[in-house]
Chain A
């Protein structure tokens, strides 16, 4: 239990296993494997306001990069619009989209339902234009009916809502602790306790707020990375033979912006595919051997922090690096800040190489963190480099100096790879979608349009 993989073993081009340590006693273990599947989740711990747990340190992204695999779309990081903002210790913890799905209203300090002012052109006409229409949608949907009117603008895509809250705060119309108000109290205590029990509990216990009586304060929180290991969509195999990836560590499926709920369906579908193809590959292979020199060098790297005489507390570097990423590669980005961030990351890399977590191998949280720092530096560098390169705004990537989408960029992928120990970037054209898939999508779109037209005609 509690094994942490730190290194992928290779033989020539292909992956042949991995080396891990156990958190509890710091023992090292080497595994020989015909196929390896990365399923390590996301990277959002690289930002100080995030919804993920401590595990979201991008281990799999880094392992893949170090093993010669390519990453793509690393500039696309999703900031969920509704994280808790107060008290400081819970900042970032997720407030489920369910609150808005159940009719939650976003307001600013002046009491305005500001989302009505932030409907982007591409969604114009898709959302309710009045409070009455919004309320009717909620009423219909919560009573299990098919909606006959348009949904509230609070349910626009996450990037839109997150940026809207950000703008309101910047314009001086934020809530007392720098967010927006999210109010569900009009649904009444009974409905709230039934439909949103864990949110009720979370706010009551951690913020002393009773959401059945008063509004919550919410603000954007780093939530999901669309980018990750570049894989073959059919097999989930990366460009390194034998190395597969699925879930949040893989990429491609969600483009520049994931829709709510789509991660779990991704996991189920592509997790299964990864497993099947990894198993199929393993069928025809002999069990690879374990090369001792590779294992020894991996162990040496892992032990390095413990063998230092002294140095900075890794926790301090961790906190400062996350604050830096939040400030300079956050929800709204500029060239200046990201150029600074690249330089800062070099400095953080130097500092992590000299940190000292104490010398014990037994459940040493500082040591675990010291090792994570290396991934975090590399993954943050990958995300920053890609974001600096993409001179447009699209999905989860917003440039203050390049607002709006640029069509040409829509056809280009940023590919991150490692060469001679250095993280590099190059561009490739987006692969065209498989014909049957693009037909299926057109079909669904037509169906939705037809249904909407029918409802508009038949209803009100």
Chain B
């Protein structure tokens, strides 16, 4: 159990772009350390210019995402006791930056694509007067989406982006969560279904649930956000009864 005094080897990605490669470091561990502590110890004792993004060290800001022994995780919430246990005796713990995003240096990547997509999403359009009401159940439904810390581990994991690089055609799980949050908001009057289908490409998702598995905020990304959006798209575009009803009631729908 005890980590104190144990010497541990790490292989950490160092460098930029093509030249980046794994480099070996070794440090002495202390009780209760998380992976980010180890990176800081290497930084403070050996390699001051080791690049790593972090901020809160409490799993709340989403800036310390990395791939630890191949698994996308937050460095600040990954306890060394667990990582040491999962790493075969005598092997180094491997820390790499998120693979799906452009590499900046060492453990830092450029995640700005996510913000660009977010900018293209229509904001909530709520009522102007304050006399609205909705029931608690409706509020609870969108509450979990607000837990998102924008770590982008889900985006990094999704094969549509990681393996197929469809960054121009697919909004990625994080922004689908955002779209679900807005679409399901009880007071919102905006219609985003057309773009959810087209430019945000919800249909590229084939429900593998890999994103949900890595989400440190425990958001049911696939089941509660993406599938809900998919259903709305199906209702709008493929359900003939809905279609006729809409023509009759002359709802203003932009295709």
Binding site for B on A (CB under 8 A): 1, 24, 53-55, 86-90, 93, 198, 201-202, 205-207, 313-316, 318-319, 356-358, 360, 362-367, 369-370
Contact = CB atoms under 8 A, between A and B. Distances in A.
B54 A90 contact: no
Contact of B30 (A88, A198, A365): A88
Given A88-B32, A357-B48, A370-B48, 12 more contacts: A1-B112, A24-B110, A53-B61, A87-B32, A88-B30, A206-B32, A206-B34, A319-B44, A363-B104, A363-B105, A364-B49, A366-B43
Interface of B: 16, 30-34, 37, 40, 43-52, 54-61, 77, 79, 104-106, 108, 110, 112
Interface centre among A1, A54, A202, A363 (most CB of B within 10 A): A363
A52 to B, nearest CB: 9
B48 A53 contact: no
Interface centre among B32, B48, B61, B104 (most CB of A within 10 A): B48
A315 B48 contact: yes
A55 B79 CA distance: 24
Contacts of B51: 362-365
Contacts of A363: 51, 104-106, 108
B33 to A, nearest CB: 5
Contacts of A367: 48-49
Contacts of B31: 87-88
A53 B36 CA distance: 14
Interface of B: prevailing SS: loop
B75 to A, nearest CB: 11
Nearest to A361: B49
Contacts of A318: 44
B48 A54 contact: no
Contact of A53 (B30, B49, B57, B110): B57
B45 A53 contact: no
A357 B51 CA distance: 12
A198 B57 contact: no
A1 B104 CA distance: 14
A206 B57 CA distance: 10
B237 to A, nearest CB: 37
A370 B44 CA distance: 11
Contacts of B50: 365-366
A332 to B, nearest CB: 26
19 contacts: A53-B57, A55-B55, A86-B32, A202-B59, A206-B34, A313-B44, A315-B48, A319-B44, A356-B48, A357-B48, A363-B105, A364-B48, A364-B49, A364-B51, A365-B43, A365-B50, A366-B48, A366-B49, A366-B50
A364 B48 CA distance: 8
A315 B37 CA distance: 13
B27 to A, nearest CB: 13
Contact of B37 (A89, A362, A364): A89
Given A1-B112, A24-B110, A319-B44, A365 B49 contact: yes
Contacts of B43: 315, 365-366
B106 A89 contact: no
Contacts of B59: 201-202, 205
A86 B112 CA distance: 35
B65 to A, nearest CB: 15
A207 B32 contact: yes
> 9 closest Cβ contacts across the A-B interface?
A87-B32, A366-B48, A315-B44, A358-B49, A363-B51, A364-B49, A357-B48, A363-B105, A89-B37
A358 B44 CA distance: 12
A315 B45 contact: yes
A362 B16 contact: yes
Contacts of B33: 87-89
A255 B79 CA distance: 40
A93 B45 CA distance: 23
A205 B77 contact: yes
B48 A369 contact: yes
Contacts of B46: 313
Contacts of B104: 24, 362-363
A318 B30 CA distance: 19
Contacts of A314: 48
Contacts of A202: 58-59
Contacts of B49: 357-358, 360, 364-367
B180 to A, nearest CB: 20
Contacts of A54: 54-55
A313 B61 contact: no
A366 B104 CA distance: 16
Contacts of A365: 43, 48-52
Contact of B32 (A24, A89, A198, A201): A89
Contacts of B30: 87-89
A362 B58 contact: no
Nearest to B106: A363
Contacts of A1: 112
B49 to A, nearest CB: 4
A53 B105 contact: no
A210 to B, nearest CB: 15
B106 A313 contact: no
A149 to B, nearest CB: 29
A201 B61 CA distance: 15
A53 B56 contact: yes
Nearest to B58: A93
Nearest to B44: A315
A367 B77 CA distance: 26
A198 B60 contact: yes
A369 B43 CA distance: 11
Contacts of A366: 43, 47-50
Contacts of A86: 32
Nearest to B112: A1
A315 B40 CA distance: 9
Nearest to A362: B105
Query: Which has the most chain B C-beta neighbours within 10 Å: A205, A314, A316, A369?
Result: A205
Nearest to B3: A87
Contacts of B32: 86-90, 206-207
B84 to A, nearest CB: 14
Contacts of B108: 24, 363
